[in-house]
Amino acid sequence: MALNVRVLEAFSLYRFFHVGDAETLALQGVSLHLDRGEIVAILGPSGSGKSTLLACLAGLDEPDGGYVELLGARLTRRPEAARAAMRATKIGILLQSGNLFDHLSVADNMLARMCLAGVVDPRRVDELLDLVGLSERRAAYPAQLSGGEAARAGLAVALAVSPPVLLADEPTGEVDAETEMMLLRLFKARRNAGEATLIVTHSEALAAHADRVVRLRDGKVVDA
């Protein structure tokens, strides 16, 4: 397995938020990289800037300073349509919530994700639903899913097009032990396949499964 092939890199990211006269420095010069075939954990307490960093890495938010490269191409400061096109084929995103369209079934959520990337593969839907243990829930709507089922369905959507990069925000935060083990197995399977996974977490136990840990505090990298 070839390592040290850079798939995602952030260069000195800054992000500021203003509420009235108050200014929050969410990110202060954060630089990091993610290589092919590795799992990287972003570890830090609440308010350290982890979720803001993930949003910038995914192109869902624009940093106020610095930039992000995805597979060697600039992601930052492109029109939203261009960023969305890059995300559609190259990045899977698993957020803490809001991963599913409420009006679509689990299977249709996956097909919608595939349509965005221009690649519809019903066999891939069946394969992933089997992997995450939701084959019998393919026709269920998000409101009919338990918390663990929703997390597994969200992961199936994120992985629908086999993206080279997966960004996961607190993936084990509110799931049962069985779902947590399933998520870890899939993350490790991605590593074995040469695909990269970045996990934002506050869990030392989850971070212990990563190849590298980047620690954030007050919007800064304090250890990597």
Query: Per the domain annotation, does 204 fall within a domain?
Result: yes
- pLDDT tens string, the chain, 224 residues long: the values are 444 789 999 999 999 988 777 788 999 999 999 999 999 999 998 889 999 999 999 999 999 999 999 999 999 999 999 999 999 999 999 998 899 999 999 999 999 999 999 999 999 999 999 999 999 999 999 999 998 899 899 999 999 999 999 999 988 877 778 888 888 889 999 999 999 999 998 888 889 999 999 999 999 999 76
CA distances (Å), origin 80, targets 58, 71, 87: 12, 18, 10
Answer whether residue 60 is part of any domain.
yes
Residue 107 counted as domain residue: yes
- Can you read off the two tokens belonging to residue 36? 């092919």
For residue 160, being part of any structural domain is answered with yes
Tokens found for residue 40: 């990287």
The enclosing domain of 170 has a CATH number of 3.40.50.300
Q: How many domains does one find in the chain? A: 1
The answer as to whether 1 is a domain residue is no
Tell me the residue range of the domain where 209 lies. 6-223
CB atoms inside a 10 Å sphere around CB 167: 27
CB of 127 closer than 8 Å to CB of 186: no
